[in-house]
Amino acid sequence: MRLGVLSLVLLPSMSILGVLTLIDFIRRAQPDEGPEMLLVGDMEILLLFLLLTSWGLLARRDSASHKRLMILGTMAIMGPAIGHWNAGIPVALGVIFALPLFVLAYDLWALRRVHRTTMVAVFLTAAWVFTLAPFSRLPVWHHCIEWIRRT
């Protein structure tokens, strides 16, 4: 529990450094899969990570919810690392979506039902996977990429 207090510093630090790293990568490199997809995907992953882990911190008195949310938040932030496997976008999205399904399967095995927090987190992950492509095609992201590369 004492180590969990460190997350109050670690969570904001990871979010700030994640955004700065993403901006620097887009500025320096020419991503293969399209910079808009990368920007939107990584920002949504970071937002999902922040949402799940913040909710997990707020639910620290409910150990079952807390553990599931922290695990699912950690799984969410693994997206950019999975993307570096160079297996293609469909494989990366499939792996990212499959990871929370393991927690869902554990719930079914251990509890004989799906825990509420697992259900919400799997729904949020699915929403991220299915909205990534349409959302990244919005013109605003192209303007953001241009702004990042100019500065």
The pLDDT tens digits for 66-94 are 999 999 999 988 888 887 788 877 888 88
pLDDT of residue 95: 87
User: How many structural domains does the chain have?
Assistant: 1
Radius of gyration of the chain (CA): 16
pLDDT bin (cut points 50, 70, 90) of residue 117 is very high
- The mean pLDDT of 33-51, rounded to a whole number, is 88
**Closest to 127 measured CA to CA, from 47, 70, 71:** 47
Q: And the tokens for 50?
A: 């922040």
Range of the domain at 135: 3-150
The pLDDT tens digits for 123-137 are 998 888 888 889 999
Query: What is the reported pTM?
Result: 0.87
